[in-house]
Amino acid sequence: MDSVLRRLPKQSDPNVLIGFDTADDAGVYQLAPDLALVQTVDFFTPIVDDPYVFGQVAATNSLSDVYAMGGRPISALSIVSFPNTGTDIEILEQILRGGLNKMQEAGCTVIGGHSIGDEEIKFGYAVTGLVNPGRVWSNSGARPGDRLVLTKRLGTGVISTALKGQRASSAAVEAATRSMTTLNRQASEVAQGFEIHAATDITGFGLLGHAREVAAGSGTSLVISSSEVAFLPDALDYARQGLIPGGLLRNAEFFGGCVEFADAVPEEVWKLLFDPQTAGGLLLSLSAADVPRLLAALNDAGIESHEIGEVVPKTRPLILVRRRAPHHHS
Protein backbone atom coordinates (compact mmCIF):
# COMPACT_ATOMS: atom_id res chain seq x y z
CA MET A 1 0.00 0.00 0.00
CA ASP A 2 2.81 2.41 0.93
CA SER A 3 4.38 2.14 -2.51
CA VAL A 4 1.03 3.00 -4.16
CA LEU A 5 0.29 5.94 -1.84
CA ARG A 6 3.72 7.43 -2.53
CA ARG A 7 2.88 7.69 -6.25
CA LEU A 8 -0.33 9.68 -5.72
CA PRO A 9 -0.40 13.47 -6.16
CA LYS A 10 0.35 15.50 -3.04
CA GLN A 11 -2.56 17.23 -1.30
CA SER A 12 -2.09 20.47 0.55
CA ASP A 13 -4.55 21.56 3.23
CA PRO A 14 -3.20 23.48 6.22
CA ASN A 15 -5.95 22.02 8.44
CA VAL A 16 -4.62 18.47 8.01
CA LEU A 17 -2.51 17.94 11.13
CA ILE A 18 -1.88 14.24 10.37
CA GLY A 19 -2.56 12.71 6.95
CA PHE A 20 -1.66 9.47 5.22
CA ASP A 21 1.88 10.63 4.42
CA THR A 22 2.97 9.43 7.89
CA ALA A 23 2.26 5.90 9.09
CA ASP A 24 -0.01 7.14 11.87
CA ASP A 25 -3.09 5.33 13.19
CA ALA A 26 -5.69 7.90 12.12
CA GLY A 27 -6.04 11.20 10.28
CA VAL A 28 -6.44 14.44 12.25
CA TYR A 29 -8.20 17.48 10.77
CA GLN A 30 -8.31 20.78 12.64
CA LEU A 31 -11.68 22.57 12.83
CA ALA A 32 -10.92 25.31 15.37
CA PRO A 33 -7.99 26.38 17.55
CA ASP A 34 -9.00 23.93 20.28
CA LEU A 35 -10.85 21.27 18.25
CA ALA A 36 -9.85 18.66 15.68
CA LEU A 37 -11.47 15.58 14.15
CA VAL A 38 -9.81 12.16 14.35
CA GLN A 39 -10.92 9.89 11.50
CA THR A 40 -10.21 6.21 10.91
CA VAL A 41 -11.70 3.17 9.17
CA ASP A 42 -11.20 -0.54 9.77
CA PHE A 43 -13.00 -3.73 8.73
CA PHE A 44 -12.13 -7.40 8.35
CA THR A 45 -13.36 -10.98 7.99
CA PRO A 46 -14.55 -13.00 11.03
CA ILE A 47 -11.82 -14.27 13.36
CA VAL A 48 -14.12 -15.85 15.99
CA ASP A 49 -17.03 -18.24 15.51
CA ASP A 50 -19.71 -16.31 17.42
CA PRO A 51 -21.26 -13.54 15.24
CA TYR A 52 -22.13 -11.33 18.23
CA VAL A 53 -18.55 -11.55 19.53
CA PHE A 54 -17.21 -10.87 16.02
CA GLY A 55 -19.25 -7.65 15.98
CA GLN A 56 -17.81 -6.67 19.37
CA VAL A 57 -14.24 -7.39 18.23
CA ALA A 58 -14.68 -5.44 14.97
CA ALA A 59 -16.03 -2.41 16.86
CA THR A 60 -13.28 -2.56 19.49
CA ASN A 61 -10.67 -2.74 16.74
CA SER A 62 -12.20 0.16 14.78
CA LEU A 63 -12.41 2.42 17.84
CA SER A 64 -8.82 1.67 18.85
CA ASP A 65 -7.14 4.09 16.43
CA VAL A 66 -9.06 7.03 17.89
CA TYR A 67 -7.89 6.09 21.40
CA ALA A 68 -4.33 5.69 20.07
CA MET A 69 -4.38 9.37 18.99
CA GLY A 70 -5.61 10.51 22.43
CA GLY A 71 -9.09 11.20 21.01
CA ARG A 72 -12.67 10.53 22.06
CA PRO A 73 -14.88 8.70 19.52
CA ILE A 74 -18.25 10.36 18.87
CA SER A 75 -19.81 8.78 15.76
CA ALA A 76 -19.42 5.76 13.50
CA LEU A 77 -20.60 4.42 10.13
CA SER A 78 -20.79 0.65 9.68
CA ILE A 79 -19.27 -1.17 6.69
CA VAL A 80 -20.83 -4.55 5.90
CA SER A 81 -20.20 -7.25 3.26
CA PHE A 82 -22.69 -10.10 3.55
CA PRO A 83 -23.79 -12.92 1.21
CA ASN A 84 -27.07 -12.17 -0.63
CA THR A 85 -28.17 -15.80 -0.38
CA GLY A 86 -27.45 -18.90 1.65
CA THR A 87 -26.49 -17.25 4.95
CA ASP A 88 -29.02 -16.67 7.72
CA ILE A 89 -29.78 -12.94 8.05
CA GLU A 90 -29.97 -13.58 11.82
CA ILE A 91 -26.15 -13.81 11.73
CA LEU A 92 -25.95 -10.27 10.36
CA GLU A 93 -28.27 -9.03 13.10
CA GLN A 94 -26.01 -10.61 15.74
CA ILE A 95 -22.89 -9.03 14.20
CA LEU A 96 -24.52 -5.58 14.16
CA ARG A 97 -25.83 -6.08 17.70
CA GLY A 98 -22.35 -6.98 18.98
CA GLY A 99 -20.84 -3.95 17.27
CA LEU A 100 -23.51 -1.67 18.71
CA ASN A 101 -22.86 -3.06 22.20
CA LYS A 102 -19.22 -1.89 22.08
CA MET A 103 -20.07 1.42 20.38
CA GLN A 104 -22.51 2.18 23.20
CA GLU A 105 -19.85 1.28 25.78
CA ALA A 106 -17.54 3.76 24.02
CA GLY A 107 -20.22 6.49 24.02
CA CYS A 108 -19.97 6.50 20.21
CA THR A 109 -23.20 6.76 18.18
CA VAL A 110 -23.67 4.67 15.03
CA ILE A 111 -25.31 7.11 12.60
CA GLY A 112 -25.42 5.07 9.39
CA GLY A 113 -23.48 2.69 7.22
CA HIS A 114 -23.24 0.89 3.90
CA SER A 115 -23.62 -2.77 2.96
CA ILE A 116 -22.81 -4.73 -0.19
CA GLY A 117 -23.48 -8.31 -1.24
CA ASP A 118 -20.30 -10.37 -0.99
CA GLU A 119 -19.53 -14.09 -0.71
CA GLU A 120 -17.31 -13.37 2.27
CA ILE A 121 -18.59 -11.68 5.44
CA LYS A 122 -16.67 -8.53 6.34
CA PHE A 123 -17.52 -5.97 9.02
CA GLY A 124 -16.14 -2.84 10.62
CA TYR A 125 -16.63 0.90 11.01
CA ALA A 126 -15.44 4.30 9.94
CA VAL A 127 -15.09 6.18 13.22
CA THR A 128 -14.92 9.91 13.89
CA GLY A 129 -13.57 11.30 17.16
CA LEU A 130 -12.61 14.61 18.72
CA VAL A 131 -9.23 15.69 20.07
CA ASN A 132 -7.56 18.91 21.19
CA PRO A 133 -5.02 19.75 18.41
CA GLY A 134 -2.42 20.60 21.06
CA ARG A 135 -2.82 17.21 22.70
CA VAL A 136 -2.77 14.81 19.73
CA TRP A 137 -0.67 11.71 20.24
CA SER A 138 1.24 10.70 17.14
CA ASN A 139 3.63 7.79 16.64
CA SER A 140 6.53 10.12 15.87
CA GLY A 141 7.38 11.90 19.13
CA ALA A 142 9.40 9.29 21.05
CA ARG A 143 12.54 10.71 22.71
CA PRO A 144 15.79 9.00 23.70
CA GLY A 145 15.54 8.09 27.38
CA ASP A 146 11.80 7.40 27.16
CA ARG A 147 10.43 4.08 28.34
CA LEU A 148 7.84 1.99 26.46
CA VAL A 149 4.65 0.74 28.12
CA LEU A 150 2.32 -1.87 26.54
CA THR A 151 -1.28 -2.19 27.80
CA LYS A 152 -2.34 -5.66 26.55
CA ARG A 153 -0.88 -9.13 26.14
CA LEU A 154 0.16 -10.46 22.72
CA GLY A 155 -0.93 -13.60 20.88
CA THR A 156 -4.38 -13.10 19.33
CA GLY A 157 -3.09 -14.09 15.87
CA VAL A 158 -1.68 -17.50 16.81
CA ILE A 159 -4.70 -18.22 19.03
CA SER A 160 -7.08 -17.42 16.13
CA THR A 161 -4.99 -19.76 13.95
CA ALA A 162 -5.15 -22.50 16.60
CA LEU A 163 -8.92 -21.96 16.82
CA LYS A 164 -9.31 -22.38 13.05
CA GLY A 165 -7.35 -25.64 13.31
CA GLN A 166 -9.56 -26.69 16.27
CA ARG A 167 -6.50 -26.92 18.49
CA ALA A 168 -7.10 -23.95 20.80
CA SER A 169 -7.89 -24.46 24.48
CA SER A 170 -11.04 -22.84 25.84
CA ALA A 171 -8.83 -20.84 28.26
CA ALA A 172 -6.80 -19.40 25.36
CA VAL A 173 -9.90 -18.55 23.32
CA GLU A 174 -11.60 -16.95 26.31
CA ALA A 175 -8.53 -14.83 27.18
CA ALA A 176 -8.01 -13.76 23.55
CA THR A 177 -11.70 -12.88 23.18
CA ARG A 178 -11.65 -10.86 26.40
CA SER A 179 -8.57 -9.01 25.16
CA MET A 180 -10.05 -8.33 21.71
CA THR A 181 -13.31 -6.99 23.20
CA THR A 182 -11.64 -4.74 25.79
CA LEU A 183 -11.79 -1.15 24.59
CA ASN A 184 -8.58 0.89 24.78
CA ARG A 185 -10.78 3.67 26.18
CA GLN A 186 -9.71 3.35 29.82
CA ALA A 187 -6.03 2.93 28.98
CA SER A 188 -6.21 6.03 26.79
CA GLU A 189 -8.08 8.09 29.39
CA VAL A 190 -5.64 7.12 32.15
CA ALA A 191 -2.62 7.91 29.93
CA GLN A 192 -4.07 11.31 29.01
CA GLY A 193 -3.20 12.35 32.58
CA PHE A 194 0.51 12.01 31.65
CA GLU A 195 2.82 13.57 29.09
CA ILE A 196 2.83 10.90 26.40
CA HIS A 197 5.50 11.58 23.76
CA ALA A 198 4.36 8.95 21.24
CA ALA A 199 1.55 6.40 21.05
CA THR A 200 0.25 3.74 18.70
CA ASP A 201 -2.00 0.70 18.97
CA ILE A 202 -0.75 -2.78 18.21
CA THR A 203 -2.75 -4.27 15.36
CA GLY A 204 -1.95 -6.06 12.09
CA PHE A 205 1.78 -5.29 11.91
CA GLY A 206 2.40 -6.87 15.32
CA LEU A 207 4.39 -5.32 18.15
CA LEU A 208 7.62 -5.05 16.14
CA GLY A 209 5.96 -3.62 13.01
CA HIS A 210 4.23 -0.88 14.97
CA ALA A 211 7.37 -0.30 17.07
CA ARG A 212 9.27 0.18 13.82
CA GLU A 213 6.84 2.94 12.79
CA VAL A 214 7.44 4.70 16.13
CA ALA A 215 11.23 4.42 15.75
CA ALA A 216 11.25 5.53 12.09
CA GLY A 217 8.79 8.38 12.70
CA SER A 218 10.66 9.61 15.77
CA GLY A 219 14.19 9.36 14.35
CA THR A 220 15.17 7.05 17.23
CA SER A 221 15.90 3.39 17.88
CA LEU A 222 14.05 1.12 20.31
CA VAL A 223 15.32 -1.60 22.61
CA ILE A 224 12.67 -4.14 23.62
CA SER A 225 13.11 -6.61 26.48
CA SER A 226 11.26 -9.76 25.42
CA SER A 227 11.04 -11.14 28.96
CA GLU A 228 8.94 -8.11 29.98
CA VAL A 229 6.33 -8.67 27.23
CA ALA A 230 3.23 -10.57 28.46
CA PHE A 231 1.59 -13.21 26.25
CA LEU A 232 -1.92 -14.62 26.25
CA PRO A 233 -2.37 -18.15 27.71
CA ASP A 234 -1.00 -20.95 25.48
CA ALA A 235 0.18 -18.48 22.79
CA LEU A 236 3.84 -19.55 23.24
CA ASP A 237 2.79 -23.21 22.90
CA TYR A 238 0.91 -22.55 19.67
CA ALA A 239 3.87 -20.63 18.24
CA ARG A 240 6.12 -23.60 19.16
CA GLN A 241 3.68 -25.97 17.42
CA GLY A 242 3.87 -23.88 14.24
CA LEU A 243 0.27 -22.56 14.41
CA ILE A 244 1.39 -19.40 12.64
CA PRO A 245 -0.92 -16.96 10.78
CA GLY A 246 0.21 -15.86 7.31
CA GLY A 247 0.33 -12.26 8.54
CA LEU A 248 3.00 -13.17 11.08
CA LEU A 249 5.32 -14.48 8.37
CA ARG A 250 4.63 -11.42 6.19
CA ASN A 251 5.44 -9.13 9.13
CA ALA A 252 8.69 -10.99 9.82
CA GLU A 253 9.64 -10.75 6.15
CA PHE A 254 8.67 -7.09 5.82
CA PHE A 255 10.02 -5.70 9.12
CA GLY A 256 12.68 -8.30 9.94
CA GLY A 257 15.44 -6.35 8.19
CA CYS A 258 15.38 -3.55 10.78
CA VAL A 259 15.13 -5.84 13.82
CA GLU A 260 18.01 -7.63 15.50
CA PHE A 261 17.51 -10.36 18.10
CA ALA A 262 20.00 -11.03 20.85
CA ASP A 263 20.93 -14.73 20.94
CA ALA A 264 18.92 -15.58 24.01
CA VAL A 265 15.48 -14.71 22.56
CA PRO A 266 13.68 -18.03 21.88
CA GLU A 267 12.12 -18.60 18.45
CA GLU A 268 8.52 -18.78 19.72
CA VAL A 269 9.00 -15.44 21.50
CA TRP A 270 10.33 -13.60 18.47
CA LYS A 271 7.51 -15.06 16.39
CA LEU A 272 4.91 -13.66 18.80
CA LEU A 273 6.56 -10.23 18.63
CA PHE A 274 5.62 -10.28 14.91
CA ASP A 275 2.15 -11.80 15.55
CA PRO A 276 -0.59 -9.68 13.92
CA GLN A 277 -2.90 -8.51 16.70
CA THR A 278 -6.59 -7.75 16.50
CA ALA A 279 -7.66 -4.89 18.81
CA GLY A 280 -4.29 -5.03 20.58
CA GLY A 281 -3.15 -2.69 23.32
CA LEU A 282 -1.57 0.76 23.28
CA LEU A 283 2.20 1.20 23.04
CA LEU A 284 3.10 4.40 24.89
CA SER A 285 6.41 6.26 24.98
CA LEU A 286 6.97 8.57 27.95
CA SER A 287 9.72 9.79 30.22
CA ALA A 288 11.20 7.18 32.57
CA ALA A 289 10.26 9.26 35.62
CA ASP A 290 6.53 9.02 34.79
CA VAL A 291 6.42 5.26 34.17
CA PRO A 292 5.90 4.02 37.76
CA ARG A 293 2.95 6.40 38.24
CA LEU A 294 1.42 5.47 34.87
CA LEU A 295 1.74 1.73 35.59
CA ALA A 296 0.16 2.24 39.02
CA ALA A 297 -2.71 4.27 37.54
CA LEU A 298 -3.34 1.68 34.81
CA ASN A 299 -3.20 -1.09 37.39
CA ASP A 300 -5.73 0.77 39.59
CA ALA A 301 -8.03 0.93 36.54
CA GLY A 302 -7.75 -2.86 36.15
CA ILE A 303 -5.51 -2.68 33.07
CA GLU A 304 -2.58 -5.09 33.07
CA SER A 305 0.38 -3.21 31.60
CA HIS A 306 4.14 -3.63 31.46
CA GLU A 307 7.24 -1.56 30.79
CA ILE A 308 8.74 -3.45 27.85
CA GLY A 309 11.68 -1.37 26.65
CA GLU A 310 13.26 1.99 26.03
CA VAL A 311 13.94 4.59 23.37
CA VAL A 312 17.60 5.22 22.48
CA PRO A 313 19.36 7.56 20.01
CA LYS A 314 19.10 6.33 16.42
CA THR A 315 21.51 3.52 15.68
CA ARG A 316 21.63 0.20 13.87
CA PRO A 317 19.60 -1.90 14.28
CA LEU A 318 16.49 0.28 14.35
CA ILE A 319 15.01 -2.18 16.87
CA LEU A 320 17.02 -4.41 19.16
CA VAL A 321 15.20 -7.20 20.98
CA ARG A 322 17.09 -8.59 23.95
CA ARG A 323 16.02 -11.09 26.57
CA ARG A 324 15.81 -8.85 29.62
CA ALA A 325 16.29 -5.27 30.65
CA PRO A 326 19.46 -4.09 32.38
CA HIS A 327 18.57 -2.84 35.85
CA HIS A 328 17.99 0.89 35.76
CA HIS A 329 18.83 2.86 38.89
CA SER A 330 16.56 5.83 39.33
Exposed e or buried b for every residue in 270-286, given b needs 16+ CB within 10 A?
bbbbbbbbbbbbbbbbb
What is the pairing mode between strands 146-150 and 72-82? unpaired
pLDDT at 329: 45
Q: Which residues contact 151 (CB under 8 A, 6 or more apart)?
A: 184, 187, 281, 282, 283, 284, 298, 303, 304, 305
pLDDT at 3: 83
Residue type (1 letter), 225: S
CATH fold of 146-322: Phosphoribosyl-aminoimidazole Synthetase; Chain A, domain 2 (3.90.650)
pLDDT at 21: 72
Overall CATH class of domain 2-135: alpha beta
pLDDT per residue of the chain (330 residues) written in tens, 0 to 9: 778 888 888 888 999 998 877 777 789 999 999 999 999 999 999 989 999 999 999 999 999 999 999 999 999 999 999 999 989 999 999 999 999 999 999 999 999 999 999 999 999 999 999 999 999 999 999 999 999 999 999 999 999 999 999 999 999 999 999 999 999 999 999 999 999 999 999 999 999 999 999 999 999 999 999 999 999 999 999 999 999 999 999 999 999 999 999 978 999 999 999 999 999 999 999 999 999 999 999 999 999 999 999 999 999 999 999 998 766 544
Compute the distance between CA of residue 181 and CA of residue 142 in angstroms, rounded to an integer: 28
Compute the distance between CA of residue 100 and CA of residue 76 in angstroms, rounded to an integer: 10
What are the residue boundaries of the structural domains of the chain, listed by start?
Answer: 2-135, 146-322
Question: Is-contact 28 38, C-beta < 8 A?
Answer: yes
Beta strands in the chain (DSSP E): 16-18, 27-32, 35-44, 72-82, 109-117, 122-131, 146-150, 196-201, 220-225, 259-261, 282-287, 306-313, 319-322
pLDDT at 260: 97
